[in-house]
Structure formats: C-alpha cells, structure tokens
Structure 1
Amino acid sequence: MCLINFHFQDHPIYRLIVAANRDEFYERPTAPAHFWEDQPHLLAGRDLSQHGTWLGITKNGRFAALTNYRDPSEQKKEIRSRGEIVTAFLDSDMTAAEFLKSLQLKRSEYAGFNVIAGTVDELFYYSNVENEVKEISAGTHGLCNHFLNTPWPKVIKGKMDLHRIVEQKRAIQPSELFGVLQHAEPFPDEQLPNTGVGKQLERILSPLFIKSEGYGTRSSTVLLIDHENTITFVERTYRDGIFMEERSFSFRIEN
C-alpha cells in the first residue's frame, strides 16, 4: 500500500472513511479482496508471495493498513515480510497501542514501514523509522511512503480532495472516493520530494494513481464504517493501469 487517505470520526454518518491505493510490481502474484479461507474473520487482498496483506479489516471491526517507507539507501535485507504486520494485528486480541508497542521490540527485523491500526473507537500510527507510537486525532489524514501527513504533493492533494467530500456532511458513494484515487498526472518537478531515487523516478511515483512499465497501482480500496457499525468495503483491481475487477462487501461489525 502506497497511499492511504482517511478521515477518522468527526462526521455525522461515518466513523471511518478510507480511500487507499496499493502500488506494486505487476508480476507480483496477488489475490483480490476476500474472506481468507484460513482466517475467515479477515477481509483483505492477499500477497501470494509472502501471504500477508497491505490493508484489511475483520468481522469484529479491527482495521490495519501499511505502507513501505521509501529509503533507497537502506541496505538492510528484509528479515521478515512487512505484510505480516497487518495480518498479525488483525488476528490479535491486543489493543492497537499494545500491539504497536510490542512491534517496537522487533522493529529492526523489518525494512522501513508505516502502519495504521485500531478500530472506529481509536486509531494509532507507528513507523519503525521514527519509532514512536502515536494516537491519531479526529480529522482528515494522509500517509504515503514517508511519515503520517508528510506534505508530499500526492498526500496534500489526496487529503484536500477527500476533505472536500467529507465536509459536505452527507452520505458518500464509493465512486466518489475512487475518483479521488484516480489522479494520474505527475506533479511539477519543483513540487517533488527528494527521496534519493532520482528526478525521473520521483516524477513517475508522484501521482496518486501510478502507471509505468512493470510497476503501478494494482488496487484501490474504499472503506466506509458508519455510526450503525455497518462496513462497506469495495476494492477495484488493475493491471497495467487497466481496470480488471470490482469486489464489494457489506456487513455489520460483530460484538
């Protein structure tokens, strides 16, 4: 997952609104969103290479999503798959704060990552680069391949476009949030961050929706949880920038 726009609480209809894109190599084998056969309480897409996930939710309302932290100078060979972090939280009985504090103890076993974890009652953020567990405040937030709310152009635009929808204080159609995620125009060079990958690659990676040879946005996910605890989860999958499939799920949070 490479871009997560979300609005937490502070809305008359929804307790959590998420619009997120996963960017990955096109050849990496992936299963679309489904309730996993070996963990039937868990709804998520699945990386078939390491068997973890980048974003998911459970029938009892536990939610987590992860992005990689971009640092081309990092020479560390990944000991463990970062995708297992989301799965481990969703399969755990620990609170988000407890889980992330336990994750701190083994942070060196993973390459750089950011993770959001919690429920509609409380959300927390942790990066093993920054190494601080933080409670997320109500409002609109954005996370890409740096820290939470870092003002990269795609983060700023994603937050602004999401907030324009949220501030209308009405029911939201998933198609509106997918529209936020479809912006595929690179940003001007003078606005791009310098993350050490070179200007050409910074330009390719700058849009909310990435299309390039061999790599790009593989899936977009919209999640809505209302005040009646009804979950709406919709995923669209892509190949080479071409829409492939949409899957939609709706259910109530189980007590």
Structure 2
Amino acid sequence: MCTLILAWQVFEGTPVVVAANRDELLDRPAEPPQHWAGGEGPAIVAPRDTEAGGTWVGYNDDGVFVGITNRWVDVEGGGERSRGHLVRDALRHESAEDAARFVEHAIDDHIYDGFNLVVADENAAFLFEWDGSVSVRNFDPGVHVVVNVGTPDSWFVPEERPEVGEQQADNARRVWEVLQPDPGEEMAAWRERARSVLGDHDYGVCVHDPEERFGTRSSSVITLGNGERSYEFADGPPCETAFEPVERHR
C-alpha cells in the first residue's frame, strides 16, 4: 500500500478515520477483508496477502488500527520476515501503545524491507519509519498523509528514482492540503471527500501501469469510534471500483 491518510482525533466521537490505497503487483494473490478468528489477542478485520500470509491494513475488536506502506530504501538483509506479518501481529494487541511496543521489539528481532507503519487508537497514534534503523513519531491530532517517501513535512529523495520520489512527496502535500477539514465539517462528509481523493488521478495516488503489471490493487476506508467499527473496501482501483461495506458491529 502506497498511500495512507489518517484523520486522528479530528472528529468528536470518531478518533480514527483512515483512507488508504494499496499499490502492488497485479498478479500477487490476495483475499478481501475478513474477520480473523483465533490466535492470541483481539480478533482482527483485515484483508489477507495469500502469498505471505500477512496483511497490509486492518483493525481489531479493541479499536486499534495498523497500516503499512512500502518505503523506497534498500535495507541490508531486508526481507527476512514479511512486513505483512508485522501488521498482523501488531493487530493482536489491545492498545496502540502495546502495539507500538511490540513493533519496537519486532524490529530488534527481525530484519524487514523498508516500511512506514502507522498504529493508532483513540488515545495514541504513531508512525514508524524503518530503513535499517527506526524513527518513531507521535502524531498530533490532525490529518496525516503517509506515502513511500515519508510525509508532506518529512520526506526523502530515493537515489534510484529521484523524480518519482519528488512527485510522490508533492502528491502527498496536495492530498494533505485538500483534506484539511472545512469549518464545521462532519466526519461523514470528510470521509466521502477522502474516498473521492483516493480515486482522483489529479492527486496521483491511484496508480495505473501501462504494461499492466503493477498498480493500485484495492482501497480501504476504516472508521473507528464510539464502539463502532466500519470498513469499506474497493477490490480494485478506486477510480473504477465501488466501495462495499465489509463489517459493522459494536
């Protein structure tokens, strides 16, 4: 997944609202979001990467969100463990604080390819940036955008693709600007605007490969608050694929 938008503690009663696109090889097998029963800790609602067995985005029954994007860096020895397993296992924790502590230990114990990972619940929100060493940021309340090169206020230029990296950073900045909440805007209206941005090619976050090997595979909109959980999923590029409700429960 290459674009993750988080509105954290922006809307009263709904502390976590996420809109995210997953960019991936088109032939990599995946299953749509489902309730993952079993295992230790709270149950998970997340899609599944059937090739590696993990996931890239989801939430759990305790209201913890975890999502990951690629980070365009080369990590020596990277790929020892799937990043999707890190997301899956972090989602087995009862709070964002606990999940963050788990991620810190997991980074010490295993070697991963580069990633940006977001963990959030009603009380805390973190961004982990891993490129062989880890940087951890606590998010302040507000709208945050994470892409492969970082965030609008802190990004890097990848050596092998500088022009693409700079363009992606500019895309993130424009997404952040357009998704600042309007005065008095309700969560549902903002969420609808965020869903629209995910499929708007003017913002460069819905990716299509002319050779049809890589692109935006799916899109997720997750809302957590007041004991309510909702997940809307587009099983294809959001510019041409409808969002369908996955699960709603108390």
Same fold (TM over 0.5): yes
- Superposition TM-score, scaled by structure 2 size: 0.81
Distance 1:77 1:6 in 2: 27
- The residue that corresponds to 2:223 in the other structure is 224
Distance 1:245 1:97 in 2: 30
SS of residue matched to 2:72: coil
In structure 2, the CA distance between the partners of 1:105 and 1:76, relative to structure 1 (3 Å rule), is closer
- The residue that corresponds to 1:153 in the other structure is 170
In structure 2, the CA distance between the partners of 1:76 and 1:97, relative to structure 1 (3 Å rule), is closer
Residue pairs, 1:1-255, within 5 angstroms: 1-38=1-38, 41-71=43-73, 76=77, 78-93=79-94, 95-106=98-109, 109-129=111-131, 131-149=134-152, 150=154, 152-164=169-181, 167-173=183-189, 174-185=191-202, 207-212=204-209, 213-226=212-225, 228-238=226-236, 242-243=240-241, 246-252=244-250
SS of residue matched to 1:177: helix
Aligned residues between the structures:
228
Amino acid at match of 1:160: E
CA displacement at 1:13 relative to structure 2: 4.3
RMSD: 2.5
Q: Which moved more, 1:123-132 or 1:212-221?
A: 123-132
SS of residue matched to 2:151: coil
> Which ranges of structure 2 fall in alignment gaps of 5 or more residues?
156-168
SS of residue matched to 1:125: strand
> Which ranges of structure 1 fall in alignment gaps of 5 or more residues?
187-206
**Equivalent residues of 1:21, 1:219 under 8 A apart:** yes
Distance 1:248 1:9 in 2: 23
- Superposition TM-score, scaled by structure 1 size: 0.80
SS of residue matched to 1:91: coil
Distance 1:13 1:162 in 2: 19
Percent of aligned positions with the same letter in both sequences?
A: 25
